[in-house]
């Protein structure tokens, strides 16, 4: 069913492309004396943008079309032969379907078609020949569609040198962001250890010392302090890296986040299999940080977590009913943005004053 739907989309795109090729050729003929005028170039860019949408190309191709660029006009001229070829393929398909319908109608009524009466050898010949011609025509349609997409990508897409330079700049920025995120995480771990665990261990040491000097009743308090110190140590370790993520998987790890959140958290984790470890880790920290912010800073009473996979991407969404006002430039959220960007993912925060807040991340698995 899905293949048939895609085939119909290709047929529709090629058919429409044949019509727009003629329209593009007419546009070029009428505007040829004024081809260097800005208004003509803007109109050519708009027509080329419509072609890019017809071929379902990415936004990078549309963004590369400038109002004063000469590439759209050259593309409209270059795609005329491909459009005419596509029109011929569609015409052959229509003619073949019409001939097949006429033959079937005539022979079903036991009437001759074009002087040929129905017989088993003739029926087999027509069926086999028709299937071969149909296969060749459909292959031609797919080939024309691929040719048009390749032509549009080469003539309308960004220059390869520009793409490489942009990619290098993105990687350099991502690397700097990762370094900053690591330094920030180290400072937070040091602060947690110094302000929490270290002071608790000092108090524990003092309690043990006093109990050794004749105060055995303090041993129970020392035991409680030791248990609390272990709890805080586990929390710090989970913030560094959740050990349960390796053995239990993302769903169980997120269930642990919900249990420790302090507010009601609903988790829906719909993954057909385990994504790459880097993706699992990033998804975990996105959920963990967003849930922590909702509980501590947004006064939320309910947090909804949804993790699902579509094709080769994992979608993470965390929404709450809190007061909103979260700043994407804040330390925790900006660190998440850099972590997601390091995987070529997309990170977004929508948090108007008064709420609600929604944190989303799209993580590629390829």
Give the percent of the chain with pLDDT over 70.
Answer: 75
Helical H segments across the chain, by residue range: 2-31, 38-54, 59-63, 71-78, 80-108, 120-156, 160-192, 199-212, 218-240, 244-248, 250-259, 277-296, 331-341
Alpha carbons 18 and 32: distance in angstroms, whole number: 21
Distance, in Å, from the CA atom of 284 to the CA atom of 344, rounded to the nearest integer, reads 17
pLDDT (average), residues 122-133: 88
CB 343 within 8 A of CB 337: no
Of 120-124, 199-203, 339-343, the one with minimum mean pLDDT is 199-203
Selected residue with higher pLDDT from 85 and 168:
85
Q: What is the pLDDT of residue 40?
A: 81
- Per-residue pLDDT, 234: 62
**Do the beta carbons of residue 55 and residue 21 sit within 8 Å?**
no
- Which whole number is the average pLDDT over 20-43? 84
Residue 208 has a pLDDT of 72
Q: Return the closest-CA partner of residue 222 out of 206, 243, 236, 238.
A: 206
Q: Compute the average pLDDT of residues 11-37.
A: 86
Residues in contact with 122: Cβ distance below 8 Å, sequence separation at least 6, in sequence order = 116
Taking residue 269's Cβ as centre, other Cβ atoms within 10 Å add up to 19
Q: Give the residue with greater pLDDT, 303 vs 40.
A: 303
pLDDT of 78 over the 60 cut? yes
| Nearest-angstrom CA–CA distance, 137 and 60 | 32
Distance of CA 294 to the CA centre of its chain: 25
Whether 232 has a pLDDT exceeding 70, the answer reads no
pLDDT tens by residue, 79-98? 899 999 999 999 999 999 99
The residues near 39 (Cβ < 8 Å, ≥ 6 apart) are: none
Which pLDDT value is given to residue 88? 93
Contact between 77 and 156 under an 8 Å Cβ cutoff? The reply is no
pLDDT at residue 220 greater than cutoff 90: no
| pLDDT at position 39 | 81
Are 284 and 254 a contacting pair, CB within 8 Å? yes
Task: Choose between 88 and 163: higher pLDDT.
Answer: 88
Lowest-pLDDT range, 56-60, 155-159, 286-290? 56-60
Over the stretch 321-363, which tens digit does the pLDDT of each residue have? 888 888 777 667 877 888 888 788 889 988 888 878 899 999 9
Determine whether 321 is exposed, middle or buried from the number of CB atoms within 10 Å of its CB (0-12, 13-18, 19+): middle
Does residue 63 have a pLDDT over 70?
A: no
**pTM beyond 0.85, yes or no:** no
Mean pLDDT, all residues of the chain: 80
Residue 185 is predicted with a pLDDT of 64
pLDDT at 223: 66
Q: Where does the pLDDT of residue 288 fall: very low under 50, low under 70, confident under 90, or very high at 90 and above?
A: confident
Mean pLDDT for 258-276 is 86
What pLDDT shows up at residue 273?
Answer: 84
- Residue 178: the pLDDT is 64
Query: Is the pLDDT reported for residue 177 higher than 90?
Result: no
């Amino acid at each position: 069913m899905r293949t048939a739907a895609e085939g119909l989309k290709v047929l529709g795109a090629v058919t429409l492309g044949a019509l727009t090729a003629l329209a593009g050729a007419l546009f070029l003929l009428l505007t040829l004396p004024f081809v260097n005028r800005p208004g003509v170039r803007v109109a050519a860019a708009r027509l080329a943008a419509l072609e890019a949408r017809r071929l379902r190309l990415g936004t990078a191709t549309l963004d590369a079309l400038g109002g004063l660029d000469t590439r759209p006009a050259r593309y409209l001229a270059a795609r005329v032969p491909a459009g005419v070829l596509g029109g011929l393929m569609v015409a052959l398909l229509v003619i073949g379907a019409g001939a097949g319908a006429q033959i079937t109608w005539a022979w079903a009524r036991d009437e001759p078609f074009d002087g040929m009466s129905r017989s088993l050898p003739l029926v087999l010949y027509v069926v086999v020949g028709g299937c071969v011609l149909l296969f060749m025509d459909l292959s031609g349609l797919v080939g024309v569609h691929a040719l048009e997409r390749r032509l549009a990508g080469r003539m309308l897409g960004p220059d390869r040198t520009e793409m490489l330079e942009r990619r290098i700049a993105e990687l350099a920025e991502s690397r700097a962001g990762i370094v900053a995120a690591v330094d920030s995480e180290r400072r937070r771990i040091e602060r947690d250890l110094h302000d929490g665990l270290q002071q608790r261990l000092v108090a524990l040491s003092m309690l043990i010392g006093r109990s050794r000097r004749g105060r055995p009743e303090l041993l129970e308090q020392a035991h409680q302090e030791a248990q609390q110190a272990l709890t805080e140590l586990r929390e710090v370790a989970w913030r560094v890296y959740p050990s349960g993520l390796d053995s239990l998987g993302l769903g169980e790890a997120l269930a642990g986040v919900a249990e420790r959140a302090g507010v009601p958290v609903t988790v829906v984790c719909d993954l057909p299999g385990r994504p790459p470890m880097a993706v699992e880790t990033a998804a975990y920290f996105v959920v963990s940080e967003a849930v922590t912010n909702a509980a501590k800073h947004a006064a939320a009473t309910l947090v909804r977590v949804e993790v699902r996979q579509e094709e080769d991407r994992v979608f993470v969404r965390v929404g709450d009913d809190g007061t909103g006002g979260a700043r994407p430039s804040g330390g925790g959220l900006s660190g998440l943005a850099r972590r997601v960007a390091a995987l070529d993912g997309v990170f977004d925060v929508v948090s108007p004053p008064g709420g609600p807040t929604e944190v989303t991340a799209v993580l590629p698995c390829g």
